[in-house]
Amino acid sequence: MTKYKTGADITDLKQPDFIKLLESAVEWRLTKIGEFSIMTATHALNNEPEAIEYIIEGLLPYRSNTLFAGETGSGKSYFALEKALAIANNEDRFLGFKILKKNLKVLYVDTECGENLLHNRFKQVVKNYQPFTGEQRFFMMSKVGRQGHIWDAINTAIETFKPDIVIVDCLYNTASNVRMDMAHSLSTLTDRMIDLSEKHKITIEAVHHFNKGLSEKGLVIERIQGASPLLFWAEHITGIMNTTTLPEDRLFRVMKSRKGHDPNHYYKLIWDATEHRFINEGVTHNWMQYLINSNTKKAWVAFLSAVIEVADKDGRFQTKDALNIGENHPFNKSETTINRWLKNLTDSGFLEKITHGVYKKTDLRIIDDKTLQDDDM
Protein backbone atom coordinates (compact mmCIF):
# COMPACT_ATOMS: atom_id res chain seq x y z
CA MET A 1 0.00 0.00 0.00
CA THR A 2 1.19 3.51 -0.84
CA LYS A 3 2.65 5.57 1.99
CA TYR A 4 0.67 8.71 2.74
CA LYS A 5 1.68 11.92 4.45
CA THR A 6 0.63 12.63 7.99
CA GLY A 7 -2.79 14.24 8.01
CA ALA A 8 -4.07 12.43 4.90
CA ASP A 9 -7.70 11.34 4.97
CA ILE A 10 -9.83 8.90 3.02
CA THR A 11 -10.15 11.29 0.07
CA ASP A 12 -6.39 11.02 -0.50
CA LEU A 13 -6.45 7.24 -0.96
CA LYS A 14 -5.70 5.79 -4.37
CA GLN A 15 -8.37 3.48 -5.73
CA PRO A 16 -6.41 0.18 -5.30
CA ASP A 17 -5.60 1.11 -1.71
CA PHE A 18 -9.20 2.06 -1.03
CA ILE A 19 -10.42 -1.31 -2.38
CA LYS A 20 -7.89 -3.19 -0.22
CA LEU A 21 -9.06 -1.23 2.80
CA LEU A 22 -12.69 -2.18 2.15
CA GLU A 23 -11.80 -5.84 1.65
CA SER A 24 -9.94 -5.98 4.95
CA ALA A 25 -12.61 -4.13 6.93
CA VAL A 26 -14.26 -5.95 9.84
CA GLU A 27 -17.96 -5.41 10.36
CA TRP A 28 -18.63 -3.34 13.45
CA ARG A 29 -21.91 -2.77 15.18
CA LEU A 30 -22.97 -1.24 18.45
CA THR A 31 -23.86 -4.11 20.80
CA LYS A 32 -24.42 -2.43 24.15
CA ILE A 33 -25.43 0.88 25.66
CA GLY A 34 -25.24 0.93 29.44
CA GLU A 35 -27.25 -2.05 30.73
CA PHE A 36 -29.01 -2.56 27.37
CA SER A 37 -27.91 -4.92 24.61
CA ILE A 38 -28.48 -3.56 21.10
CA MET A 39 -29.76 -5.53 18.12
CA THR A 40 -30.45 -4.12 14.68
CA ALA A 41 -33.12 -5.52 12.39
CA THR A 42 -30.37 -6.50 9.94
CA HIS A 43 -28.57 -8.55 12.57
CA ALA A 44 -31.82 -10.15 13.75
CA LEU A 45 -32.79 -11.13 10.20
CA ASN A 46 -29.40 -12.59 9.31
CA ASN A 47 -28.86 -14.56 12.53
CA GLU A 48 -30.77 -17.11 14.59
CA PRO A 49 -31.60 -16.60 18.29
CA GLU A 50 -29.94 -18.85 20.82
CA ALA A 51 -31.80 -22.13 21.25
CA ILE A 52 -33.86 -22.46 24.43
CA GLU A 53 -32.25 -25.13 26.58
CA TYR A 54 -33.66 -26.95 29.57
CA ILE A 55 -32.02 -28.92 32.35
CA ILE A 56 -35.38 -30.53 33.15
CA GLU A 57 -37.80 -30.37 30.25
CA GLY A 58 -40.38 -27.67 30.93
CA LEU A 59 -39.40 -27.27 34.60
CA LEU A 60 -35.87 -25.92 34.88
CA PRO A 61 -34.26 -23.82 32.12
CA TYR A 62 -30.51 -23.84 31.56
CA ARG A 63 -28.55 -20.76 32.63
CA SER A 64 -31.56 -18.81 33.80
CA ASN A 65 -33.04 -17.09 36.83
CA THR A 66 -35.78 -19.25 38.30
CA LEU A 67 -38.13 -19.06 41.26
CA PHE A 68 -39.80 -21.98 43.03
CA ALA A 69 -42.54 -20.76 45.38
CA GLY A 70 -44.88 -22.58 47.71
CA GLU A 71 -47.07 -22.57 50.76
CA THR A 72 -45.80 -23.33 54.24
CA GLY A 73 -46.00 -27.07 54.84
CA SER A 74 -46.27 -27.98 51.15
CA GLY A 75 -42.84 -29.66 51.16
CA LYS A 76 -41.08 -27.20 48.87
CA SER A 77 -37.69 -27.80 50.52
CA TYR A 78 -38.00 -31.57 50.05
CA PHE A 79 -39.13 -30.94 46.48
CA ALA A 80 -36.09 -28.74 45.78
CA LEU A 81 -33.70 -31.23 47.38
CA GLU A 82 -35.23 -34.16 45.50
CA LYS A 83 -34.86 -32.27 42.23
CA ALA A 84 -31.24 -31.35 43.01
CA LEU A 85 -30.29 -34.96 43.78
CA ALA A 86 -32.03 -36.26 40.65
CA ILE A 87 -29.94 -33.90 38.51
CA ALA A 88 -26.68 -34.66 40.32
CA ASN A 89 -27.30 -38.41 40.05
CA ASN A 90 -27.83 -38.23 36.27
CA GLU A 91 -31.36 -39.58 36.56
CA ASP A 92 -33.32 -39.81 33.31
CA ARG A 93 -36.43 -38.18 34.76
CA PHE A 94 -37.72 -36.13 37.68
CA LEU A 95 -41.44 -36.60 38.42
CA GLY A 96 -41.81 -37.91 34.89
CA PHE A 97 -40.16 -34.88 33.25
CA LYS A 98 -37.04 -35.63 31.20
CA ILE A 99 -33.68 -34.51 32.58
CA LEU A 100 -32.01 -33.32 29.40
CA LYS A 101 -28.54 -32.35 30.61
CA LYS A 102 -26.17 -34.73 32.35
CA ASN A 103 -23.08 -34.43 34.52
CA LEU A 104 -24.14 -31.08 35.96
CA LYS A 105 -22.93 -29.95 39.36
CA VAL A 106 -25.47 -28.71 41.89
CA LEU A 107 -24.86 -26.48 44.90
CA TYR A 108 -27.70 -26.58 47.44
CA VAL A 109 -27.67 -23.57 49.78
CA ASP A 110 -29.71 -23.94 52.97
CA THR A 111 -30.50 -20.72 54.82
CA GLU A 112 -33.30 -22.08 56.97
CA CYS A 113 -33.08 -25.50 58.65
CA GLY A 114 -29.43 -25.79 59.74
CA GLU A 115 -26.73 -28.35 59.11
CA ASN A 116 -28.09 -31.26 61.15
CA LEU A 117 -31.63 -31.12 59.76
CA LEU A 118 -30.29 -30.66 56.23
CA HIS A 119 -28.07 -33.72 56.73
CA ASN A 120 -31.08 -35.74 57.89
CA ARG A 121 -33.16 -34.64 54.91
CA PHE A 122 -30.35 -35.54 52.54
CA LYS A 123 -30.19 -39.04 54.06
CA GLN A 124 -33.96 -39.42 53.74
CA VAL A 125 -34.17 -38.32 50.10
CA VAL A 126 -30.96 -39.84 48.73
CA LYS A 127 -32.29 -43.34 49.54
CA ASN A 128 -34.56 -42.89 46.52
CA TYR A 129 -31.54 -42.50 44.23
CA GLN A 130 -29.58 -45.70 44.64
CA PRO A 131 -26.93 -46.27 43.64
CA PHE A 132 -26.02 -42.62 44.16
CA THR A 133 -23.20 -41.66 41.82
CA GLY A 134 -23.32 -37.91 42.27
CA GLU A 135 -20.85 -37.56 45.13
CA GLN A 136 -18.61 -35.26 43.08
CA ARG A 137 -21.53 -33.35 41.56
CA PHE A 138 -23.58 -32.43 44.62
CA PHE A 139 -22.56 -29.95 47.31
CA MET A 140 -24.44 -28.53 50.29
CA MET A 141 -23.85 -25.54 52.48
CA SER A 142 -25.93 -24.55 55.51
CA LYS A 143 -26.06 -21.14 57.13
CA VAL A 144 -24.81 -20.79 60.67
CA GLY A 145 -24.73 -17.46 62.48
CA ARG A 146 -25.63 -14.11 60.97
CA GLN A 147 -26.97 -13.45 57.51
CA GLY A 148 -24.99 -10.32 56.75
CA HIS A 149 -22.52 -11.57 54.13
CA ILE A 150 -24.39 -14.59 52.83
CA TRP A 151 -24.09 -13.69 49.14
CA ASP A 152 -20.33 -13.19 49.46
CA ALA A 153 -20.16 -16.70 50.91
CA ILE A 154 -22.31 -18.08 48.09
CA ASN A 155 -20.03 -16.42 45.55
CA THR A 156 -16.99 -18.01 47.20
CA ALA A 157 -18.72 -21.41 47.16
CA ILE A 158 -19.51 -21.02 43.47
CA GLU A 159 -15.88 -20.18 42.73
CA THR A 160 -14.79 -23.20 44.78
CA PHE A 161 -17.20 -25.90 43.59
CA LYS A 162 -17.99 -24.48 40.12
CA PRO A 163 -21.63 -25.65 40.02
CA ASP A 164 -23.94 -25.36 37.03
CA ILE A 165 -26.99 -24.90 39.26
CA VAL A 166 -27.34 -23.09 42.58
CA ILE A 167 -30.51 -23.68 44.60
CA VAL A 168 -31.05 -21.18 47.43
CA ASP A 169 -33.52 -22.39 50.06
CA CYS A 170 -34.95 -20.04 51.08
CA LEU A 171 -34.60 -16.62 49.52
CA TYR A 172 -36.19 -14.71 52.40
CA ASN A 173 -33.37 -15.59 54.79
CA THR A 174 -30.73 -14.12 52.46
CA ALA A 175 -32.20 -10.66 52.80
CA SER A 176 -31.71 -9.50 56.38
CA ASN A 177 -31.56 -5.83 55.38
CA VAL A 178 -34.02 -6.05 52.48
CA ARG A 179 -37.71 -5.13 52.53
CA MET A 180 -39.38 -7.76 50.35
CA ASP A 181 -42.40 -5.50 49.86
CA MET A 182 -40.40 -2.47 48.66
CA ALA A 183 -39.18 -2.42 45.06
CA HIS A 184 -36.08 -0.28 45.55
CA SER A 185 -34.97 -2.39 48.51
CA LEU A 186 -35.67 -5.74 46.84
CA SER A 187 -33.72 -4.64 43.75
CA THR A 188 -30.48 -4.85 45.73
CA LEU A 189 -31.14 -8.58 46.20
CA THR A 190 -32.18 -9.34 42.63
CA ASP A 191 -29.23 -7.33 41.28
CA ARG A 192 -26.89 -9.47 43.36
CA MET A 193 -28.40 -12.66 41.94
CA ILE A 194 -28.15 -11.28 38.40
CA ASP A 195 -24.48 -10.48 38.98
CA LEU A 196 -23.79 -14.04 40.14
CA SER A 197 -25.69 -15.76 37.33
CA GLU A 198 -24.05 -13.62 34.64
CA LYS A 199 -20.58 -13.82 36.15
CA HIS A 200 -20.59 -17.59 36.56
CA LYS A 201 -22.96 -18.55 33.69
CA ILE A 202 -25.19 -20.61 35.99
CA THR A 203 -28.83 -21.34 36.74
CA ILE A 204 -30.01 -19.86 40.03
CA GLU A 205 -33.20 -21.22 41.56
CA ALA A 206 -34.54 -19.35 44.57
CA VAL A 207 -36.99 -21.16 46.84
CA HIS A 208 -39.54 -18.70 48.15
CA HIS A 209 -42.80 -18.31 50.11
CA PHE A 210 -46.35 -17.49 49.15
CA ASN A 211 -48.22 -14.79 51.00
CA LYS A 212 -50.85 -16.04 53.41
CA GLY A 213 -54.37 -16.31 52.05
CA LEU A 214 -55.72 -16.44 48.49
CA SER A 215 -55.34 -20.22 48.39
CA GLU A 216 -58.68 -20.46 46.60
CA LYS A 217 -57.06 -18.76 43.61
CA GLY A 218 -54.66 -21.65 43.14
CA LEU A 219 -51.12 -21.25 41.86
CA VAL A 220 -51.07 -17.65 40.61
CA ILE A 221 -48.29 -15.07 40.44
CA GLU A 222 -49.96 -12.58 42.77
CA ARG A 223 -49.60 -14.98 45.70
CA ILE A 224 -45.80 -14.76 45.61
CA GLN A 225 -44.28 -12.77 48.45
CA GLY A 226 -42.35 -9.69 47.37
CA ALA A 227 -42.42 -6.65 45.13
CA SER A 228 -42.21 -6.48 41.34
CA PRO A 229 -38.39 -6.71 40.94
CA LEU A 230 -38.50 -10.35 42.07
CA LEU A 231 -41.08 -11.23 39.41
CA PHE A 232 -39.12 -9.32 36.76
CA TRP A 233 -35.92 -11.12 37.78
CA ALA A 234 -37.51 -14.56 37.50
CA GLU A 235 -37.55 -15.86 33.94
CA HIS A 236 -39.27 -19.06 35.03
CA ILE A 237 -41.54 -19.64 38.03
CA THR A 238 -42.94 -22.90 39.38
CA GLY A 239 -45.15 -23.35 42.44
CA ILE A 240 -46.52 -25.95 44.83
CA MET A 241 -49.44 -25.78 47.25
CA ASN A 242 -51.48 -27.82 49.71
CA THR A 243 -55.05 -28.94 49.07
CA THR A 244 -58.21 -29.32 51.12
CA THR A 245 -58.59 -33.01 50.26
CA LEU A 246 -56.06 -35.49 51.66
CA PRO A 247 -53.01 -34.39 53.69
CA GLU A 248 -50.65 -35.86 51.11
CA ASP A 249 -52.26 -34.17 48.08
CA ARG A 250 -50.42 -31.30 46.41
CA LEU A 251 -50.88 -29.17 43.30
CA PHE A 252 -47.90 -28.14 41.16
CA ARG A 253 -47.70 -25.80 38.20
CA VAL A 254 -45.37 -23.85 35.93
CA MET A 255 -46.67 -20.37 36.74
CA LYS A 256 -44.56 -18.30 34.37
CA SER A 257 -42.12 -19.01 31.58
CA ARG A 258 -40.21 -16.71 29.27
CA LYS A 259 -38.65 -19.80 27.74
CA GLY A 260 -41.63 -20.89 25.68
CA HIS A 261 -43.14 -23.56 27.96
CA ASP A 262 -46.93 -23.63 28.21
CA PRO A 263 -47.74 -22.74 31.84
CA ASN A 264 -51.38 -23.80 31.83
CA HIS A 265 -51.30 -27.30 33.29
CA TYR A 266 -51.81 -28.18 36.93
CA TYR A 267 -50.22 -31.42 38.12
CA LYS A 268 -51.57 -33.51 40.98
CA LEU A 269 -48.74 -34.66 43.25
CA ILE A 270 -48.71 -37.06 46.17
CA TRP A 271 -46.26 -36.57 49.03
CA ASP A 272 -45.07 -39.96 50.28
CA ALA A 273 -44.00 -39.13 53.83
CA THR A 274 -42.64 -42.64 54.39
CA GLU A 275 -40.30 -42.63 51.40
CA HIS A 276 -39.77 -38.84 51.47
CA ARG A 277 -40.56 -38.34 47.82
CA PHE A 278 -43.18 -36.82 45.55
CA ILE A 279 -45.19 -38.83 43.04
CA ASN A 280 -46.69 -37.16 39.97
CA GLU A 281 -50.18 -38.47 39.23
CA GLY A 282 -50.45 -36.36 36.06
CA VAL A 283 -52.33 -33.35 34.75
CA THR A 284 -55.57 -32.35 36.47
CA HIS A 285 -57.86 -30.11 34.46
CA ASN A 286 -60.29 -29.54 37.31
CA TRP A 287 -57.81 -28.38 39.92
CA MET A 288 -60.29 -26.18 41.79
CA GLN A 289 -61.95 -29.28 43.26
CA TYR A 290 -58.83 -29.72 45.42
CA LEU A 291 -59.18 -26.24 46.94
CA ILE A 292 -62.77 -26.26 48.16
CA ASN A 293 -63.04 -25.98 51.94
CA SER A 294 -65.16 -28.47 53.87
CA ASN A 295 -68.09 -26.11 54.51
CA THR A 296 -68.29 -25.15 50.86
CA LYS A 297 -68.07 -28.80 49.85
CA LYS A 298 -71.06 -29.69 52.02
CA ALA A 299 -73.08 -26.77 50.69
CA TRP A 300 -72.23 -27.56 47.06
CA VAL A 301 -73.04 -31.25 47.45
CA ALA A 302 -76.44 -30.43 48.95
CA PHE A 303 -77.13 -27.67 46.40
CA LEU A 304 -76.23 -29.86 43.42
CA SER A 305 -78.38 -32.68 44.79
CA ALA A 306 -81.31 -30.29 45.08
CA VAL A 307 -81.06 -28.79 41.60
CA ILE A 308 -80.70 -32.21 40.00
CA GLU A 309 -84.09 -33.07 41.51
CA VAL A 310 -85.73 -30.34 39.39
CA ALA A 311 -83.68 -30.94 36.23
CA ASP A 312 -85.32 -32.25 33.06
CA LYS A 313 -84.76 -35.75 31.67
CA ASP A 314 -81.49 -34.58 30.06
CA GLY A 315 -80.20 -33.29 33.39
CA ARG A 316 -80.63 -29.63 32.47
CA PHE A 317 -81.92 -26.89 34.74
CA GLN A 318 -82.27 -23.11 34.54
CA THR A 319 -80.90 -20.28 36.63
CA LYS A 320 -84.41 -19.56 37.95
CA ASP A 321 -84.58 -23.14 39.27
CA ALA A 322 -81.25 -22.71 41.08
CA LEU A 323 -82.36 -19.36 42.54
CA ASN A 324 -85.66 -20.79 43.71
CA ILE A 325 -83.80 -23.56 45.57
CA GLY A 326 -80.89 -21.46 46.84
CA GLU A 327 -82.95 -18.55 48.17
CA ASN A 328 -85.14 -20.81 50.30
CA HIS A 329 -84.67 -23.22 53.19
CA PRO A 330 -82.25 -24.86 53.95
CA PHE A 331 -79.81 -22.65 51.99
CA ASN A 332 -81.34 -19.18 52.45
CA LYS A 333 -78.71 -17.55 50.24
CA SER A 334 -78.93 -14.31 48.31
CA GLU A 335 -79.30 -14.12 44.55
CA THR A 336 -75.71 -12.85 44.36
CA THR A 337 -74.42 -15.87 46.29
CA ILE A 338 -76.33 -18.38 44.14
CA ASN A 339 -75.08 -16.76 40.93
CA ARG A 340 -71.55 -16.93 42.32
CA TRP A 341 -72.05 -20.61 43.17
CA LEU A 342 -73.20 -21.32 39.62
CA LYS A 343 -70.16 -19.56 38.22
CA ASN A 344 -67.74 -21.31 40.60
CA LEU A 345 -69.31 -24.71 39.96
CA THR A 346 -69.02 -24.09 36.22
CA ASP A 347 -65.42 -22.84 36.46
CA SER A 348 -64.59 -25.88 38.61
CA GLY A 349 -66.05 -28.26 36.04
CA PHE A 350 -68.97 -29.53 38.14
CA LEU A 351 -71.52 -27.81 35.91
CA GLU A 352 -71.61 -27.21 32.18
CA LYS A 353 -73.21 -24.01 30.92
CA ILE A 354 -75.29 -25.07 27.92
CA THR A 355 -76.53 -21.62 26.97
CA HIS A 356 -77.46 -18.42 28.76
CA GLY A 357 -79.30 -19.39 31.94
CA VAL A 358 -79.19 -23.14 31.28
CA TYR A 359 -76.86 -25.58 33.07
CA LYS A 360 -76.19 -29.30 33.21
CA LYS A 361 -74.31 -31.29 35.81
CA THR A 362 -71.14 -32.99 34.59
CA ASP A 363 -69.73 -36.35 35.66
CA LEU A 364 -67.07 -34.66 37.78
CA ARG A 365 -67.32 -35.47 41.46
CA ILE A 366 -66.57 -33.34 44.50
CA ILE A 367 -63.71 -34.88 46.43
CA ASP A 368 -64.21 -35.24 50.16
CA ASP A 369 -61.50 -35.99 52.70
CA LYS A 370 -62.11 -39.74 52.51
CA THR A 371 -64.40 -40.45 49.60
CA LEU A 372 -66.12 -38.99 46.55
CA GLN A 373 -69.47 -37.50 47.40
CA ASP A 374 -71.07 -37.74 43.98
CA ASP A 375 -73.02 -40.88 44.78
CA ASP A 376 -75.59 -38.81 46.66
CA MET A 377 -76.06 -36.16 43.98
Structural domains present in the chain: 10-46 (no CATH), 54-290 (3.40.50.300), 294-376 (1.10.10.10)
Provide the residue-wise pLDDT of the chain in tens; the chain has 377 residues. Answer: 678 778 788 788 888 888 887 778 766 777 888 888 888 888 889 899 888 899 999 999 999 999 999 999 999 999 999 999 999 999 999 999 999 999 999 999 999 899 999 999 999 999 999 999 999 999 999 987 656 678 999 999 999 999 999 999 999 888 777 788 778 888 889 999 999 999 999 999 999 999 888 888 899 999 998 878 899 999 999 999 999 888 999 999 999 998 766 667 899 999 999 999 999 999 998 888 888 877 888 888 899 999 999 999 999 999 999 999 999 999 999 999 999 999 888 877 789 999 999 999 988 777 654 433 333 33
Which amino acid belongs to residue 241? M
Q: Where are the alpha helices (DSSP H) in 36-182?
A: 41-46, 76-88, 115-126, 150-161
Task: Confirm if 365 and 373 have CB atoms less than 8 A apart.
Answer: yes
Task: Confirm if 343 and 351 have CB atoms less than 8 A apart.
Answer: no
Nearest Cα to 345, choosing from 307, 295, 282, 288? 288
Cα–Cα distance measured from residue 305 to residue 349, given in angstroms and rounded to the nearest whole number? 16
Cα–Cα distance measured from residue 360 to residue 351, given in angstroms and rounded to the nearest whole number? 6
Query: What is the phi/psi pair of residue 128, to 5°?
Result: -80, -5
Cα–Cα distance measured from residue 221 to residue 196, given in angstroms and rounded to the nearest whole number? 25
203: helix, coil or strand? Answer: strand
Which amino acid belongs to residue 205? E
Cα–Cα distance measured from residue 281 to residue 268, given in angstroms and rounded to the nearest whole number? 5
For the stretch 194-202, contacts whose Cβ atoms lie closer than 8 Å and that sit 24 or more positions apart, written own/partner, are 194/65, 194/233, 196/151, 196/154, 196/155, 196/158, 196/166, 197/63, 197/64, 197/65, 200/158, 200/159, 201/63, 202/63, 202/158, 202/163, 202/164, 202/165, 202/166
